[in-house]
Structure 1
Amino acid sequence: MRMHLTSAAAGLLLLAGVGAAAAQDVVIQPEQETVIKEYVHKQPLASVKLPGVELNVGTALPDTVELHEVPNVKYRYVVVDNQTVVVDPGTRKIVKIIQ
């Protein structure tokens, strides 16, 4: 019985750790955010529609969405439903929604 409880506790701790790691937000440094906002303002894009896709941090955008480069910044951006979103090009996940 003790072994089962220990295994269950270890499993719960492992799952809690995985959940905590998944919940961590990507932090965009303030100077990077300023560069992105200024670039987006100077290089406006037409908004694309993505029916059925919720725009939230962590949402992955489909491969059909063209991501646009911001010079000297690792992230890309696109305008979806009139909202500018900053995307990690490796995962295609939204890391920031610019207001």
Structure 2
Amino acid sequence: MKMEARKMALDKIYKRRGRYDIPDWQRDEVWSLDHKQLLIDSILNGWKLPKFYFAKTSSDPDEFDVVDGQQRLATIWEFHEGGLRLSDASAAAFGGYRSSTPSIVE
């Protein structure tokens, strides 16, 4: 198996979210609200995230299975779609409780 490292902006991953499949063997979403809020806070502060790992599917070269990072991706998508509020402290620092722009990362 060939591995390839690439950098990709989170908003680009979000826009292409239909290309990423969560395999059946992945666990369900288990992160608490606090854990999700901490991840979004880290992103908004510009802190580095752990790497995401994707595997190309055999059926379509433009689609990928999420090998590692499902909880983080689900949290990013939930925030971007307005379903996740920031903590009170983060909302005060960043000017609101929810994503109000098409991209949470510039």
The TM-score normalised by the length of structure 1 is 0.29
The structure where strand makes up a greater share of residues is: 1
The TM-score normalised by the length of structure 2 is 0.28
Does 1 or 2 have the higher relative contact order (CA < 8 Å, sep 6+)? 2
